Structure 1
Amino acid sequence: MLCDTRLTVRLRQVLERRELKFVFQPIVDLSRADLLGYEALMRGPADTPLHAPEVLLGEARRCGLVRELEMAACTGAMHAFAAQNLPGKLFLNLSGPAIAAFSETEGRDLLRNVAEAGLTPGRLILELTEHERVEDAEALQSAFVALARHGVGLALDDFGDGRSSLRLWAQLKPRVVKVDKFFVHGIHNDRRKVEVLRSILNLSTAFGTAIVAEGVEEAEELSVLRDLGCHFGQGYLFGRPAERPGTTVAEPARKVLDSCKVAVLPNAAPRGDLVETVGRLKVRAPTISVTSTNAELMQLFAQHPDLQAVAVVANEHPIGLMNRRQFVDRFARPYSHELYGRRPCTLFMNDAPLRVEASTPIDALITVLTGDDQRYLYDGFILTENGRYAGLATGESLVRAVTERRIEAARHANPLTFLPGNIPITEHIGRLLGAGGRFAACYFDLNNFKPYNDLYGYWRGDEMIKLAARVIAAQTDPSQDFVGHVGGDDFVVLFQSEDWRERCERVVHTFNTGARALFDAEELARGGFDSEDRRGFRVFFPLTTMAVGVVHASAGQFQSPEEVASAAAAAKKIAKQSGNGIHVAPAVCLHTLPEVAIAVAS
């Protein structure tokens, strides 16, 4: 094996002279805001080419000194850890072969080194690295059976980075699994990462394993991890690797962990069980061959009185569609049977029907509804599987399915403002109530919006709603305030910001000023406009402004999200009637007066 002679000699000197240095990075218990322990990271001598750990390992691999380097690092880290009397557990990085080698002596060599360092085996966690090189999982499992008897734990590193294995997790039964930092970075802005971590946490419950989230750098990331129930965290927010690390949780992290405020999760996607395909619209229907005659087609319709259309097929592939009503009307004309009865059924067919693979998502057909060719509404359309005829579907069922999808999507995110809809709003209120902290539920609504919309049209009305959304969002703190769009001109903000009152006042003032630009000069000069009221009478309305009803919730005041929503809606109603723009409801335990709450809310 060819090696750089100078580096090899220097590496051997480092090992013989025990010149490895060690830094320690804290791992924090998120539920107790306390230290779980530290991960030891080796370094070579400073100001030398071997200082970086990747250079040390690379040279050791080239020269066959990996085992020696790992054992030296393991022993040296234990002594450095014990010398500082650091609290908690010590995480040591070792490859699969190094851990498996302990089975040769049933772990006696490792346990001896632990004792010499003045530690107990129960404080040691061996962190398996380089998972792709685990070729003998059975030997690794045997080694840990022996070590586990003495209390030594096992951790899997970088789970989810493409190298780690769910099979290893299930087979080795580690005490700890570390989630790769990719899934932690920016988790407060990425719903997909939230769902990935939720799935991993569900697995950890099934396997009885603790989860460490690696790479925690932002307070917002930590807030999400804490609220999702992640067990432990590691990253720069808790502390950078240091020769003499702190023995308490860093203040920025402790501030998040001690807070009763809940994280604002990125907006939820519609439920997965509603991601449906067009195949669910399929209606089994007979077909007619391309070689059949019109008389045979007429007989087929007579045999199936409920059949609205028939697909014309050639070698199992649909080539056209025949609408029942159009065909029967044409065939009922005088002499049509004599003239066309023996002619091919392709004579009157629609030779360009809508054909859709049954596996196509329903959402993909939204553009069909706005297309120029609307014949599918009365003809229906053909479903295929790998190009072969599979059945028919009606235009009515397609319109209904797409509408249901849009309604469901709107409950998660408003299609105009893209703000969270009713379901995320309800979920977030539930999380706030569960945390037992204080928050302000604010219900924003526009005064005289409907008559404005009637006068100026939907396009100008949409601009008014989008203005409201921008103004509200601009006055909130996205790290702790949740903004939702109930629908129409109704918005809900769940403030955890202490200065929620000032923020509400700024929203109302900014909107009322900005909304003037959406009126014509004549209405501005008059200070209002003429439009129809709800009874159809032409009346004068003041310019559109904003009103907000506020409920300041505290622990124990409400029992459900519905109670909060009812109280906020009642406060909004008073705000609209008062003309002051803002109404803060007095503190009332709503669940003790359900009849009053319902009456006011209605």
Structure 2
Amino acid sequence: MLTYIGEIAEAVPFVHRNTISSHINEIFEQDKNLEGVVIGDNAHIDGLVMKGAFYKKIAAKFGYDLFMGRSIELIMDASPLIVDYFTSITDVSSLAMNREQDHLYDYVIITKDDRFYGIVSIKDLLQTFAEIQAFMARYSNPLTGLPGNNLIEENLTKALDAPTYSIFYLDLNHFKAYNDSYGFKQGDVVIRETSMLLQEIFRNHSSNSFLGHIGGDDFIGVIYSHEYEPISEQIIQVFDQKVPSFYSVEDWDRGFVHVHDRNNTLVQLPLLSIAIAIVTNQKAHFESTDQISEYATQLKSLCKRTKGSHCVADSTFLSCVKK
């Protein structure tokens, strides 16, 4: 499945800013399907001229005399939308649609390694975005809208080929007790709220991070670095700040909920917390996603032995452990 905007980029003419407008006219005349030309120098991007804007200027009163024999920099848009190859198609769609009306259908310019790479038309962008949305709807968790198990497996396989990665396995401690006490409807609220805070944190970390919803209260995240500790710290901090809003004042002040066990005996169970097991290739090499999952299960077991929100990475308790 396509992910990055650069994957749908196409080539267009790239000309110097001192190019005479009459030459731009010739370019448009020679290629009737061309909608724009990128302006720059030695791969540095100075601007963009779209066919519609070009001929609007030329057709204006005295426009032909004013512009046709002079540099295209007098007509070009000096502030086009420029994004990196590895920006997600979804993010670019949002940026493109938030432009001013006059530039809504302008090309999006793509760079790679800080050099001009190509353009994406709005037609191609919207078509690809619609395909992604349809694909996500088919393979996403219906409660959170996050990618489900097929896409999770795909991204784990992708991580195995990366030089560095950190894989987060996250779940909620005592979620069953919460459901038994507050009901499944309120339990769904907790899952959605947790999903939203995780999405924000992973999205803010990097544009190519991944977050999926395995099911129930289980989530999985992937980043392509070993900078997992700040993310874990933030997840625990934000989640623990959010937890009081999930409970009645009485339960929160008491510090536990009453739940009937299998013998119908009323027992006290702790409040919600979050457990994070982090698998990296910093100290070990994994051959398959099954190996990663097996190791993560061991880490989660270690993480859940202590009360409250905790995170464990490669069998080591981190500083983000709640004291």
TM bucket, shorter chain: 0.5 to 0.7
Structure 1 SS opposite 2:135: coil
Q: 1:39 to 1:451 in 2, by over 3 A?
A: same
Query: Partners in 2 of 1:52 and 1:533 — Cα distance?
Result: 83
2:291 equivalent among 563, 572, 576: 563
Q: Is the 8 A contact 1:433 1:555 kept in 2?
A: no
1:443 and 2:169 are equivalent in the alignment: yes
Query: Partners in 1 of 2:268 and 2:14 — Cα distance?
Result: 75
What number of residue pairs does the alignment pair up? 228
Query: Partners in 1 of 2:17 and 2:242 — Cα distance?
Result: 60
> Which has the higher Rg, Structure 1 or Structure 2?
1
Q: Could you tell me which residue of structure 1 aligns to residue 200 of structure 2?
A: 474
Query: Partners in 1 of 2:15 and 2:176 — Cα distance?
Result: 65
Q: In percent, how many aligned pairs have the same letter?
A: 25
Q: 1:438 to 1:52 in 2, by over 3 A?
A: same
Query: Partners in 1 of 2:33 and 2:283 — Cα distance?
Result: 47
Letter in 1 for 2:214: V
Q: How does 1:244-283 map to 2 (within 5 A)?
A: 269=135
Normalised by the length of structure 2, the TM-score is 0.60
Q: Could you tell me which residue of structure 2 aligns to residue 53 of structure 1?
A: 23
Q: Is the 8 A contact 1:467 1:515 kept in 2?
A: no
Query: Partners in 2 of 1:457 and 1:531 — Cα distance?
Result: 12
Structure 1 SS opposite 2:155: helix
Q: Is the 8 A contact 2:179 2:186 kept in 1?
A: yes
1:538 and 2:258 are equivalent in the alignment: no
1:583 and 2:309 are equivalent in the alignment: no
Q: How does 1:459-498 map to 2 (within 5 A)?
A: 459-476=185-202, 477-498=205-226
Normalised by the length of structure 1, the TM-score is 0.34
Q: 1:57 to 1:234 in 2, by over 3 A?
A: closer
Structure having greater relative contact order (Cα 8 Å, sep ≥ 6): 2
Query: Partners in 2 of 1:268 and 1:573 — Cα distance?
Result: 37
Q: Could you tell me which residue of structure 2 aligns to residue 424 of structure 1?
A: 151
Letter in 1 for 2:310: G
Structure 2 SS opposite 1:269: helix
Query: Partners in 2 of 1:461 and 1:130 — Cα distance?
Result: 57
Q: Could you tell me which residue of structure 1 aligns to residue 178 of structure 2?
A: 452
Point out where structure 1 has 5 or more consecutive residues left out of the alignment.
1-29, 31-37, 62-94, 96-128, 133-180, 194-213, 223-231, 237-265, 271-405, 588-602
Structure 1 SS opposite 2:305: helix
Q: 1:497 to 1:187 in 2, by over 3 A?
A: closer
Query: Partners in 1 of 2:260 and 2:249 — Cα distance?
Result: 20
Q: Is the 8 A contact 1:414 1:485 kept in 2?
A: yes
Query: Partners in 1 of 2:262 and 2:243 — Cα distance?
Result: 22
Letter in 2 for 1:446: L
Q: Could you tell me which residue of structure 1 aligns to residue 42 of structure 2?
A: none
Query: Partners in 2 of 1:538 and 1:188 — Cα distance?
Result: 50
Query: Partners in 2 of 1:549 and 1:516 — Cα distance?
Result: 23
Letter in 1 for 2:15: L
Query: Partners in 2 of 1:190 and 1:470 — Cα distance?
Result: 17
Query: Partners in 1 of 2:33 and 2:216 — Cα distance?
Result: 53
Query: Partners in 2 of 1:569 and 1:469 — Cα distance?
Result: 21
Q: Is the 8 A contact 1:451 1:533 kept in 2?
A: no
Q: 1:474 to 1:535 in 2, by over 3 A?
A: farther
Query: Partners in 2 of 1:418 and 1:514 — Cα distance?
Result: 21
Q: Could you tell me which residue of structure 2 aligns to residue 294 of structure 1?
A: none
**Residue 52 of structure 1: CA displacement?**
5.3
Q: Could you tell me which residue of structure 2 aligns to residue 434 of structure 1?
A: 161
Residue deviations 1:357-385 (CA, integer Å, cap 9, x gap) = xxxxxxxxxxxxxxxxxxxxxxxxxxxxx
Query: Partners in 1 of 2:263 and 2:299 — Cα distance?
Result: 25
Query: Partners in 1 of 2:234 and 2:16 — Cα distance?
Result: 54
Letter in 1 for 2:135: A
Q: CA RMSD in A?
A: 3.8
Q: Could you tell me which residue of structure 2 aligns to residue 502 of structure 1?
A: 230
Q: 1:546 to 1:534 in 2, by over 3 A?
A: farther
Query: Partners in 2 of 1:267 and 1:443 — Cα distance?
Result: 25
Structure 2 SS opposite 1:550: strand
Q: Is the 8 A contact 1:44 1:53 kept in 2?
A: no
Query: Partners in 2 of 1:442 and 1:493 — Cα distance?
Result: 5
**Residue 536 of structure 1: CA displacement?**
4.8
